[in-house]
Chains A and B, each alone.
Chain A
Amino acid sequence: MNLTLNIWRQANATAQGAMHTYQLGDVSEDMSFLEMLDVLNEQLLAADEDPIAFDHDCREGICGSCDLMINGQAHGPEVTTTCQLHMRSFKDGDNITIEPWRADAFPVIKDLMVDRSAFDRIIASGGFISANTGSAPEANAAPIQRDKALRAFNMATCIGCGACVAACPNGSASLFMGAKITQLGLLPQGQPERDSRVIGMVGQHDAEGFGGCTNIGECAGACPKEIPLDVISQLNKDLRTAIKNGH
Chain B
Amino acid sequence: MTTGSTGTKSGQTLVKGSRGTRSTIALKILMALSGLAFIGFVLGHMYGNLKAFSGQAAFNEYAEHLRELGEPLLPHSGLLWIIRVGLIVALVVHVVTALMLTQRAHAARTQKYAVKKNVASSVSSRTMRWGGVTILVFLVWHLLNFTIGKINPATGDTGDAAGDPYSLLVDTFDLWWMTIIYLVAMVALGLHLHHGTWSSMQTLGFTGTAASRARAKAAGWIVAVVVAGGFSLVPLSVLLGIIEK
Which residues B8-63 have CB closer than 8 A to chain A? 8-10, 12-15, 18-29
Q: Known contacts A169-B105, A211-B104; is A233 also within 8 Å of B121 by CB?
A: no
Cα–Cα distance between A113 and B45 once the two chains are bound (Å) = 53
Give the shortest distance, in Å, between B107 (CB) and chain A (any CB).
7
**Are A170 and B117 interface neighbours, CB within 8 A?**
no
Q: Known contacts A222-B120, A233-B202, A237-B208; is A212 also within 8 Å of B27 by CB?
A: yes
**Are A215 and B202 interface neighbours, CB within 8 A?**
yes
Q: Is the interface of B mostly helix, strand, loop or mixed?
A: loop
Cα–Cα distance between A204 and B5 once the two chains are bound (Å) = 8
Q: Which residues of B contact A53 (CB under 8 A)?
A: none
**Are A102 and B111 interface neighbours, CB within 8 A?**
yes
Q: Known contacts A73-B119, A125-B15, A233-B205; is A216 also within 8 Å of B26 by CB?
A: no
Chain A, residue nearest B213 (CB): A230
Cα–Cα distance between A30 and B245 once the two chains are bound (Å) = 74
**Are A208 and B10 interface neighbours, CB within 8 A?**
yes
Count of chain A residues near B, Cβ 8 A: 60
With an 8 A cutoff between CB atoms, is A218 at the interface? yes
Which residues A202-222 have CB closer than 8 A to chain B? 202-218, 220-222
Q: Known contacts A212-B25, A240-B205; is A203 also within 8 Å of B109 by CB?
A: no
CB within 8 Å of A: which residues of B?
5-10, 12-15, 18-29, 101, 104-105, 107-122, 125-126, 128, 195, 198-199, 201-210, 212-213
CB within 8 Å of B: which residues of A?
6, 8, 19, 69, 71-73, 97, 99, 102-105, 117, 121, 124-125, 167, 169-172, 198-200, 202-218, 220-222, 228-230, 232-240, 242-243, 247
- Given contacts A171-B105, A239-B26, list 17 more A-B pairs with CB under 8 A: A104-B109, A170-B105, A199-B19, A206-B5, A206-B18, A207-B18, A211-B109, A213-B28, A215-B125, A215-B203, A216-B120, A217-B125, A218-B119, A218-B120, A222-B119, A233-B202, A236-B28
